[in-house]
Chain A
């Protein structure tokens, strides 16, 4: 819709005339503006309420959670739920700290390895000529086509064959999980970085080559410093994908000591005695860091999102 219609200032009052807030509103308001405002408020409520509900429920007591009517505003910030997650003295102690560590142990290596490998690969795709490039690229992008549930059975069978020969287990093995995450994140990372590298004028690199830099030297000294925003985005995306991932972790992890956060939250949710406040507390811990990380760097990350940064 034409943005300009709303941007034009309505006929303003003489500057000397004093208007109160409501008079201002009345002059400014027209039907399209009113509907726009209403819709924005509707969207904001629909988006923010679930998150408000998550955070506020995490501060409720078991009594408030089990009350006949929902408690919209908790009477106080009670830490009962968090105590259940972290306090070994609590009767139902979940040792959630361990799950946070496990999630970090999976997400950080995934994002670091993915960014290094995809910088190299993306440079080759964006700058170097070689035979079979398009075929290779297309088959890498095929990853988008295959559902996770299709891959998980053959992966399981395959890795257990390899593992039996090399002496490692498929299940309860974090490096195995990390390598499956790499396979899921590398294509996205490669695609995003290659697109970015193409926007850097190649003359700058050629100048470096003429001055005697090797190709790797050019990548390190010229391309990387110019691509910091894209590299940060890729690190955050791959981190988020690994941090949020559910299905592979659900299948590949059996031992409670190795559960990542999503699997532990699912376990708490399916506990015979329902404890929504604990689920909400754990969800809050898992959600807030990624949301804040994203919001603080939103300017850089927005483009990556529409490039399919988060497959899902």
Chain B
């Protein structure tokens, strides 16, 4: 009975409704994630632009919409701030320090990661264990590793590095490594490589294992040595992945706050833009100026990435 009474639904419409239902379900499923990400990341990021043009302090943070508009004052005061602008080799300012820190840190991370990946690409006993150990710096909490390194680099004679270097006769008096201009920045960069090389290593290792073995066999027949095989087979095969790692790591390093804040507190020539943003906002409680600094950071990063993608990545493609 029922079967005969049911109206035949046109084929096209049925297909459409099924598709429409599927799309509805998809939106329903992804809605919570989208709401949280938009509400707590995308919207605040846009709101930050608004804050950077207003005078927001501790007094009106709770009632931010009544904050007075002050045009480009925040930006002007950041650009004129002594901890921001470059004033010769003695005092680089946060912008230049940030660029030096993230570019050299990223390059060093990739070099160390490449060496580690080449080591682990060779079969040897206990390779699995060694690889697992190599990943530890990357997964250990930043607070613990930063404080361990501070304790190892302790300025007292009882610091491990001081003890070893004085024992070897390299230095006579104990050094305050993280409180010496220049040395501090170098050590923060080395720390960056120590902590983040596993990321580069894993990505390179995955690519290495996909390289066709016959390439090496052919090279061996032609009498290529180890270096030649690396230079003319391995490196070209890795070009894309190295470019991608550089981009990702550069972005994350440029945005990094915890590492430098915990290691040096941003002192002794290691004040990078994220730390400066923090200081404007939470030491001076000038949130407008902090927001402006963060915007400058973001714009610098965006420009750098755009240039990088345009120039470097396209060069790789055209080669």
Which A residues are within 8 Å of any B CB, using their own CB? 1-7, 32, 36, 39-40, 43-44, 46-48, 50-51, 53-54, 57, 66-70, 117-118, 120-121, 123-125, 128-131, 133, 136, 139-140, 142-158, 160-161, 164, 179-180, 182-184, 186-187, 190, 215, 240, 243-244, 246-247, 251, 261-262, 265-266, 269, 276, 279-280, 283-284, 286-287, 290-291, 294-295, 298, 302, 305-306, 308, 310-312
Contacts and interface: CB of A to CB of B under 8 A. Distances in A.
B81 interface: no
A243 B139 CA distance: 11
B108 interface: no
B122 A240 contact: no
Given A117-B33, A291-B140, 14 more contacts: A2-B229, A4-B217, A54-B148, A150-B295, A153-B291, A154-B45, A157-B61, A158-B44, A279-B147, A280-B148, A280-B151, A283-B148, A286-B141, A306-B199
B194 A46 contact: yes
Contacts of A46: 194
Chief secondary structure at chain B's binding surface:
helix
A179 B36 contact: yes
Nearest 7 CB-CB pairs, A to B?
A147-B255, A283-B144, A183-B40, A150-B294, A154-B44, A128-B26, A130-B23
Contact of B203 (A240, A251, A306): A306
Chief secondary structure at chain A's binding surface:
helix
Contacts of B290: 149, 153
A117 B33 CA distance: 6
28 contacts: A39-B119, A44-B130, A53-B160, A67-B158, A69-B158, A70-B163, A120-B33, A121-B32, A121-B34, A123-B29, A128-B23, A128-B29, A131-B23, A136-B34, A143-B41, A150-B45, A150-B48, A153-B51, A153-B287, A154-B48, A154-B51, A160-B62, A161-B62, A186-B33, A186-B37, A261-B143, A266-B262, A312-B196
Interface of B: 19, 22-23, 25-27, 29-30, 32-34, 36-45, 47-48, 51, 56, 61-65, 115-116, 118-119, 121-124, 130, 132-145, 147-152, 154, 157-160, 163, 194, 196, 198-199, 202-203, 206, 213, 216-217, 219-220, 226, 229-230, 234, 248, 251-252, 254-258, 262, 274, 277-278, 281-282, 287, 290-291, 294-295, 297-298, 301-302
Given A244-B141, A287-B140, A153 B294 contact: yes
A1 B230 contact: yes
Nearest to A219: B29
A161 B154 CA distance: 44
Contacts of A306: 199, 202-203, 206
B122 A7 contact: yes
Given A40-B130, A118-B33, A154-B51, A130 B26 contact: yes
B134 A43 contact: yes
Given A7-B122, A244-B141, A151 B151 contact: no
B211 to A, nearest CB: 9
A7 B123 contact: yes
Given A50-B149, A283-B148, A148 B291 contact: no
B257 A147 contact: yes
Nearest to B33: A121
